[in-house]
Structure 1
């Protein structure tokens, strides 16, 4: 390598990793590795571990099995199968081959499953920092946002401690919007399809992208639709064909996400009153309320605007409408909107209370949802069981407290929707 090339590389590395920031980066990485090793949600992590084994050994991950003997752990008895599209199970199969297969250690396997999430957390912090820099914010402001994502309790809790991969979905979605703004249509559509293939929560962004491209030359819109469709087929359908997996469990329970109530949704009131989260009779149709709500929101989006900030606001608005009108919204799903709210807050487009509510309210909610004790599954399963039994004594009080948290979230959430769908003057940061 020539001296000039080495000099350019050195400059780029210094810009990406300034000396004064390396310590914070390493501290965040170490913290995430420790949390990822020792903690994990008893429901999700068991399913992820079992799925990795089934995929790696050529079995169908969508058919539940008793894997007590495989992991030498009674916790793997009587489990349900994974409910996500094939992309995440395929990733889990690779992780199993590289971690648990050579070293039969559940803690190492637990950490290995979190590694894509840790990488996504770091990538999201740098992407948000770069976006703010490109939008003209000072280095102090962009660095503040970078530190926020590296050490935010909400991010650390729901990603590396819990084990959910919403930050990976958020990274792909935000990167897709950045590429769309740069007119890199094909790669943008592939990334968005990949995000949706992991979790369907970014589906509203597809409408935003189509509206964004509507005023462009027609070939760009066609290019996006074709590449997005091919990508969705590749990520969601082709694996069933190639791996010869049985899709009937998914097809038979196609409406599973629409027949339940609860989470950070107003329908959590139903669980409080009836002591069940299953919607009775034809009430499951309420689970489709998000569809006309999103379409109505899309009609309120003004076409012809092609600046990136407007693209972020429109995406945030439709995702929020999706979350606020669903009969079930898990608290970790809000990770998808956190970077959008963070950027818009630091740009002065949203007041700080919106950012605070987006990460504080889910943490309060999850406490009353008995989630913290469930993270002790990898290291202290007996203590976990005792804590859950004690918390179940106060079930009615917990459900009432959850409803109290949901109300301000609904108010602030709809307020953000209104602000994002109408023109407003920027607020001071």
Structure 2
């Protein structure tokens, strides 16, 4: 029997939980709307804005144009074109039509572009909470993870403030994995195809899914791959035909992602030594090193257990191998692995330090990567320019600091990879 004191305690706990279930997401939403309005990365946000206009007006978003006359801002001169597959440009076109085309204000347009990102951040928090509740039955644990994602500085900075949409990719990917574990192979394949079509950082998860489905009955694997390929064609190829976009700029620069070095990649030392991030000659072949690395990593994961935790571990392992062997790794890309590490940490599969390193290291790294001043583009472009000039005086010291920070990231990343291959009892977490 529950005595009166216990009954009051349970009621108080219920009231506190219900209160936080309303206040926390509302507070997160207010913070994200405020941050999303005022800040935006000078490179990525300009491209998203320009892409929205080009798609909405029937132009090819993969051919750069001078749009000073459209946005009445000199920052839109001499821009490069968008480097993502069609789903993001098409979404930008829709946002342009319902925002800047109606009220031509750059700040409001900047916020409108962030709305899908903010929605993805909130959705990711709720999805992680649901997955943990289903697997542990521990509402306190799942609530803690939910709160972590609602207010995590990493997500607020790299998605809401910066304007990158990696959290949208993370949401679609994690949802695809959850559906795959429920044997809903068709919807899972379609969602994963959409995630990859937004940003191909989820490609290794495709191999993790194949490892998960490997074996009898083979029909599941075949069906999954057919729908995945068909979905990829629908999302990535059909728009070029539907809108009459010329694909030759994309074909001509197919290796653009492989010819650069830097970011949180180990190859950041190259920029430090040569004072350029462009890889000369056949050095760009190093940009393909992740392909054999991920393929070998996939083979080593066989055979597979058929449970969600194992599927998530395999996905994390292959994404990390992909990231750790690339010649370029942008800080926002870690948004894809953050919820994976959070879930596995909560389940006791990884120690707590891996979660801390996953979100804290990129925040420190980005300071030396000059991104904080670049987020002032929407509200203080002149101050942004002055700060960047000042930081350029210390360029050599910045690059050295970046190289130092890449080392603990590499160690942590490969440690998590090794942990994913280890067979045995989960880690014991000290609270």
TM-score, normalising length from structure 1?
Answer: 0.95
SS at match of 1:75: helix
Alignment partner of 1:347 is 2:340 = no
Specify the alignment match of 1:164 in structure 2.
164
Specify the alignment match of 2:387 in structure 1.
387
Q: CA offset at residue 296 of structure 1?
A: 1.0
Q: How does 1:121-160 map to 2 (within 5 A)?
A: 121-160=121-160
**CA distance in 2: counterparts of 1:184 and 1:139, whole angstroms:** 26
Distance change (3 Å), C-alpha of 1:216 and 1:125: farther
Aligned pair count reads: 415
**CA distance in 1: counterparts of 2:129 and 2:352, whole angstroms:** 18
Specify the alignment match of 2:29 in structure 1.
29
- 1:9-59 deviations in Å (ceiling 9; x for gaps): xxxxx99x9333211111000000000000000000000000000000111
Specify the alignment match of 2:292 in structure 1.
292
Specify the alignment match of 1:397 in structure 2.
397
SS at match of 1:62: coil
Q: CA offset at residue 363 of structure 1?
A: 0.5
Is contact 1:215–1:304 with CA below 8 Å preserved after alignment?
no
Specify the alignment match of 1:70 in structure 2.
70
The unaligned stretches of length 5 or more in structure 1 are: 1-13
- 1:272-321 deviations in Å (ceiling 9; x for gaps): 01111111211111111101100111111032410110000000000000
Specify the alignment match of 1:258 in structure 2.
258
Distance change (3 Å), C-alpha of 1:304 and 1:313: closer
Moved over 6 A (4+): none
What root-mean-square deviation, in Å, do the aligned CA atoms of Structure 1 and Structure 2 show?
1.2
Of 129-138 and 83-92, the range deviating more from structure 2: 129-138
SS at match of 1:399: helix
Specify the alignment match of 1:271 in structure 2.
271
Specify the alignment match of 1:190 in structure 2.
190
Is contact 2:173–2:202 with CA below 8 Å preserved after alignment?
yes
Q: How does 1:59-138 map to 2 (within 5 A)?
A: 59-138=59-138
SS at match of 1:260: coil
Is contact 2:32–2:160 with CA below 8 Å preserved after alignment?
yes
Is contact 2:212–2:311 with CA below 8 Å preserved after alignment?
yes
Is contact 2:304–2:310 with CA below 8 Å preserved after alignment?
no
- 1:107-149 deviations in Å (ceiling 9; x for gaps): 1100000000000000000000011101114111110000000
SS at match of 2:285: helix
Is contact 1:125–1:147 with CA below 8 Å preserved after alignment?
yes
The unaligned stretches of length 5 or more in structure 2 are: 1-13
Q: CA offset at residue 426 of structure 1?
A: 1.9
Q: CA offset at residue 200 of structure 1?
A: 0.5
Is contact 2:159–2:166 with CA below 8 Å preserved after alignment?
yes
Alignment partner of 1:53 is 2:53 = yes
**CA distance in 2: counterparts of 1:377 and 1:75, whole angstroms:** 9
SS at match of 2:178: helix
Is contact 2:124–2:171 with CA below 8 Å preserved after alignment?
yes
- 1:238-272 deviations in Å (ceiling 9; x for gaps): 10011111111111111111111101111100110
**CA distance in 2: counterparts of 1:216 and 1:376, whole angstroms:** 54
TM-score, normalising length from structure 2?
Answer: 0.95
